[in-house]
Structure 1
Amino acid sequence: MRFIICLAAALALLPLNARSQEGLRSYVIVGDSIPDSLTGKAGDAARGRALVADRSAGFCLLCHRAPLPEERFQGDLAPDLAGAGTRWSEGQLRLRLVDASRLNPVTIMPPYYRLDRLQRVARNFAGKPILNAQQIEDVVAYLASLTK
């Protein structure tokens, strides 16, 4: 069991391209975060807000509640996103979006920027991440702005 945990920890330090995932930009996990932007620049919080609210793109509101009073029927299976910017750094938010299973192997949150080790993938998502690198950065910018 220790070997598996150590192997998983070692793999977490490798950039994605070292594990040959095509179509995804490389990143490095440091501790519990991905400190560097996937695109090399900051995201747009307004676009991120729209993605979080969009039930056909981000799917966030299926499980999370967010400070989006105009959106009805928000989830309660996962942490409330209000105040996310005070609870987590941008890097911590980024890792949670990219692949929350790195932090919690039994999480129900899907990996938004991973192509391997997926099961029962919907046909329209086969071979591509749920969100692209720019969309990840936009959602990170929005969540980081939630400080109340």
Structure 2
Amino acid sequence: MRFWSALTMVGVLHTAAPALAQQTTGDLLLPPVVGDSIPQSLTGQAGDPVRGRAFVASRQQGLCLLCHTGPFPEDHFQGNLAPDLAGAGRRWSEGQLRLRIADAQRLNPASIMPAYYRTDGLQRVGTAWQGKTLMDAAQIEDVVAFLQTLKN
């Protein structure tokens, strides 16, 4: 039952959450994808890990804990559909994390993880949300900076 509830929420995220976007972007041009990563920052600056943690743990913004578990002892209801975020900074490089957040479906077209920084090629996006991303570039960099701190 928990699986279907979380999967339904992923569907809601993928169709309704673009309203959460901070910017209207039109066609986004990501920095070059090299292998399985985006080595270059989307903003040209490092993110803030404190803001990144707050975003990941937020039930109003990131919604990451619907599918992921992680080192968030204050949150007793965490998902089990996606990889545990503990150790993410050890398992993946900064660039690998950036691509997985920006557009995980480039690596795995069957991924249930929403494309947080893509506006084209999406399905069932309401007219009011077309051309908007789920996260802006600074939010992605903040989350990447936070995940990089998770070495254990």
Class of the TM-score when normalised by the shorter of the 2 chains: 0.7 to 0.9
Tell me, which stretches of 5 or more residues in structure 2 are unaligned?
1-24
The separation in 1 between residues aligned to 2:95 and 2:61, in whole angstroms, is 22
Decide whether aligned partners of structure 1 residues 143 and 123 sit closer, same or farther in structure 2, where only a CA change above 3 A counts. farther
Structure 2 residue matching 1:114: 3-state secondary structure: coil
Structure 2 residue matching 1:118: 3-state secondary structure: coil
The C-alpha deviation readout for 1:7-46, integer Å capped at 9, x for no partner, is xxxxxxxxxxxxxx72645311000000000000100000
How far 1:90 sits from its partner (Å)? 0.3
Alpha-carbon contact 1:25-1:38 (below 8 Å) kept: no
User: What amino acid maps onto 1:76 in structure 2?
Assistant: N
The separation in 2 between residues aligned to 1:73 and 1:64, in whole angstroms, is 10
Report 1 or 2 for greater relative contact order, CA contacts < 8 Å, sequence distance ≥ 6. Answer: 2
Matching residue within 27, 34, 41 for 1:30: 34
The separation in 2 between residues aligned to 1:140 and 1:124, in whole angstroms, is 28
The residue number in structure 2 matching 1:47 is: 51
The residue number in structure 2 matching 1:58 is: 62
Decide whether aligned partners of structure 1 residues 87 and 124 sit closer, same or farther in structure 2, where only a CA change above 3 A counts. farther
How far 1:122 sits from its partner (Å)? 5.5
The separation in 1 between residues aligned to 2:126 and 2:52, in whole angstroms, is 23
Q: Which runs of 4+ in 1 moved over 3 A?
A: 23-26, 122-126
The residue number in structure 1 matching 2:19 is: none
User: What amino acid maps onto 1:99 in structure 2?
Assistant: D
User: What amino acid maps onto 1:116 in structure 2?
Assistant: D
How far 1:72 sits from its partner (Å)? 2.1
Alpha-carbon contact 2:69-2:80 (below 8 Å) kept: yes
Matching residue within 101, 104, 107 for 2:105: 101
The residue number in structure 1 matching 2:87 is: 83
The residue number in structure 1 matching 2:130 is: 126
The separation in 1 between residues aligned to 2:112 and 2:139, in whole angstroms, is 20
Is 1:146 aligned to 2:150, yes or no?
yes
The residue number in structure 2 matching 1:115 is: 119
Q: How big is the alpha-carbon RMSD for the aligned residues of Structure 1 and Structure 2?
A: 1.6
Structure 2 residue matching 1:86: 3-state secondary structure: helix
Structure 2 residue matching 1:48: 3-state secondary structure: helix
